[in-house]
Amino acid sequence: MKSTRRAFLQTSTLAASAIALRTTPLLSQSTHADAHIEIMPAETIATISPEIYSHFIEHLGGVIYDGVWVGEKSKIPNQGGIRTAFIDAMKAVKAPVLRWPGGCFADSYDYRDGIGPRDKRPARTSFWDQQDNNQYGLHEFMRTCRAIDCKPYLAANLRTMPARDFYQEVEYCNAPAGMVPSNSAAPAAPNALATQRAANGDTAPFNVDLWGVGNESWGCGGNLTPEEYAAEFRRYTAWTPSYSKTPLRFVAVGPNGDDVDWTTRLFQALHANPERRHLWGLSIHYYTSGSPSKFAAGDALKFSNDDHYDLLTRGSIMEKVVNDHWKAMANSANSAKADQPKVKLVVDEWGAWYGKGTELAPQYNLSQQSTMRDALLTGITLDIFQRHADKVAVANVAQSINCIHSLMLAQEDKFTLTPTFHVFQMYLPHRGAQAVRAEFTAPDIQNPLANAPIPVGGNSYTGSLEAVKTLAGLSGSASISPTNPKLLTLTVVNPHLTRPLTTEVAIRGASIASAKATVLVSHDIHDHNTFATPNAVKPAAATTASPTGGKLMHTFPPASVTTLELHLS
Ligand code: AHR
């Protein structure tokens, strides 16, 4: 069955302007093509925020200890205790922002436990019921960010620490050290917390501007109602100095997946009081869990074809999640005052979350393998963020290493990149580029498990079954290079397990002069990288025909992610 998008495309191409007709023929609906993509460079969406390719590490299982932190005395190559392979991989994907220390961990964490001499730091039982000896703390995290050259994003404790501690954490991070000229009648004096930070090794302020005010306050972060959280948010953020000319970017706890009621009520409660000027972003957590069909809660490695289509369909709901929360914010007067910028969406936890069974070892809680299926979900998700570049400002995959939807797996001296890492790298040309509208026309895929029970747990989609019936037969996004208006990047996911899609690619109002393709594809959708076979799945250059008549005919292999660099004449 052909999708309604085809009908839309036919209408929209017929309605296209005469200018387009004069400059370049519209899609010819070539008889050789199974699918069509039409890119509209004049229909700009927004600049794609580089921060949508951001990351997240939490004190959980083997994420921090062993994944990121191996210690200075380790034989594993490290930079001041931080795993070198982790730093190198994060640099290779130009990680823009790293979120820490949680997750649920954040709301029972006291940053003061993780500063000062390491041998004096207390060991504590963490949220995840694990012993944490606090060897990796604030300064180690900041050194990690400096080594990667990314920005820190701190999730602050709102459940078990008072607002004053939050205020002082900001002060510890951002107040300048040394004598501070007084702007009052009081004599100049050094700031006590900045002095402490300097004594702990960092004279220069950390200048943390991105702050999550609690985490999942509807759940592990306090079981609050939106109204209760709104009051807390105000108390924590109302008069916090930023120690900079630019205001801090405060991110409010947003919904559990598709819970639009949370967003609506939170915004109503925030708007009921004029003191909301610090709200910069609304966090969304949306994880994808497949239907619990053959394998309870879904398995990372053992899945059927039906499970595959089901997971990708549910993952594609991210688009609905983004749209629905955006609408809810707008309806709740998101931009009520002209002088207040629109609050953006911060999808600071996303990924495919499977049941237990593929952990590196029992103590690596929530670590899971990552297959080609996860690579496809990564492409689908990043394409959604790119298509909604006007709404999504930051997104953090959960989590970078040894966890749910990881780019890396590490156990002691063993290390591998996952297929998801490769997709992040393939999508680099979109960073900071101008997102433009593109229409994809291909036969839809019906989700064979659309009527299966809704997965329990995670922050999954719990809405209408209607939305999980159909998976787009081909999806993707397009952008114009920020430095070269004649260079377009098109990323495309073909989710079908057996059907290659020969696709006609056309640019409205322009001609394709040449194209370069990179593809991530494997023989079997279950393929993944292991410590023994770290290169089992990796991208390769793909052949693509020379454009004819300004259009490109390209075949997207089954179960593949492709980046096409399109040079316009
Ligand atoms: O990423 C794992 C957990 O998932 C996080 O700690 C929490 O925020 C979410 O529920």
pLDDT digits (tens, 9 = 90+) for 538-569: 999 999 989 999 999 999 999 999 999 999 99
Q: What is the pLDDT of residue 26?
A: 39
Q: What is the pLDDT of residue 451?
A: 80
Residue 499: predicted pLDDT: 97
Q: What was the pLDDT predicted at 290?
A: 63
pLDDT of residue 9 exceeding 90: no
In this predicted structure, what is the pLDDT of residue 440?
Answer: 98
Instruction: List the residue whose alpha carbon is closest to atom 7 of ligand 1.
Output: 103
Q: Which residue has the higher pLDDT, 244 or 29?
A: 244
* Mean pLDDT to the nearest integer, 343-350: 96
Band of the pLDDT at 240, cuts 50, 70, 90? confident
Q: pLDDT tens digits, residue range 20-71?
A: 232 333 344 445 899 999 999 999 999 999 999 999 999 999 999 999 999 9
| Rounded Cα distance, 558 and 123, in Å | 50
* Strand locations in 399-549 (E): 408-411, 414-417, 434-441, 445-446, 470-471, 475-480, 487-494, 501-507, 512-520, 540-542
Greater confidence (9 vs 249) lies with: 249
DSSP-assigned letter for residue 52: G
20-38: burial string, b at 16+ Cβ within 10 Å, e else: beeebeebeeeeebbbbbb
pLDDT in tens, 438-493: 999 999 999 998 887 665 545 556 666 677 889 999 999 999 999 999 999 999 99
Distance from residue 399's CA to the centre of ligand 1 (Å): 9
Q: Is 543 helix (H, G, I), strand (E, B) or coil?
A: coil
- pLDDT for 5: 32
240 in the Ramachandran plot: left (φ > 0), alpha (ψ -120 to 50) or beta?
beta
Q: Write down the mean pLDDT value for the chain.
A: 89
How many angstroms separate the alpha carbon of residue 103 from the centre of ligand 1?
5
**Closest ligand 1 atom to 105 CA:** 6
Which atom of ligand 1 is least distant from the CA of 127? 6
Query: Which residue's CA is minimally distant from atom 8 of ligand 1?
Result: 103
- pLDDT given at position 32: 82
Dist CA 119 CA 56 (whole Å): 26
Q: Which of 114-128, 140-154, 182-196, 498-512 has the lowest mean pLDDT?
A: 182-196
The rounded distance, in Å, linking the Cα atoms of 306 and 309 is 5
Separate counts of helices (H) and strands (E) for the chain: 12, 27
Q: What is the pLDDT of residues 174-200, one digit of tens each?
A: 999 987 777 777 788 899 999 999 999
- Going by CA atoms, what residue is nearest to atom 9 of ligand 1? 103
pLDDT band at 252 (very low <50, low <70, confident <90, very high): very high
pLDDT > 70? residue 261: yes
Mean pLDDT of the 384-390 span? 97
Pick the closest to residue 219 from 114, 129, 354, 102 (CA basis).
102
Pocket of ligand 1 (CB under 6 A): 58, 102-104, 215-216, 285, 349, 398-399, 404, 459
Q: Is the pLDDT of residue 295 over 50?
A: no
* Nearest atom of ligand 1 to the alpha carbon of 104: 6
Taking the centre of ligand 1 as the mean of its atom positions, its distance from the CA of residue 234, in whole angstroms, is 24
Closest ligand 1 atom, residue 215 Cα: 8
Q: pTM of the prediction?
A: 0.92
DSSP structure string for 246-301: SPPEEEE---BTT-HHHHHHHHHHHHTSS--TTEEEEEEEEEE----SSSTT--SS
Nearest to 398 by CA among 115, 131, 99: 99
Using a pLDDT cut of 90, give the percent of the chain over it.
Answer: 78
pLDDT band at 429 (very low <50, low <70, confident <90, very high): very high
pLDDT of residue 10: 33
Q: Which helix (H) or strand (E) holds 381?
A: helix 372-387
Asked if pLDDT for residue 338 goes beyond 90, the answer is no
Look at residue 455 in the predicted model and tell me its pLDDT: 58
CA-CA distance, 387 to 395, in Å (whole number)? Answer: 14
Q: Which helix (H) or strand (E) holds 323?
A: helix 318-331
Residue whose CA lies nearest to ligand 1 atom number 4: 103
The pLDDT, as a whole number, for residue 185 is: 79
* Ligand 1 closest atom vs CA 103: 6
Q: What pLDDT does residue 463 have? A: 66
Mutate to test the pocket of ligand 1, among 126, 349, 356 (most ligand atoms within 8 A of CB): 349
Q: What is the pLDDT of residue 7?
A: 35
Which residue lies with its CA nearest to atom 2 of ligand 1?
A: 103
Question: What's the CA gap between 407 and 154, in Å, rounded?
Answer: 21
Q: Say how far apart CA 260 and CA 237 lie, in whole Å.
A: 23
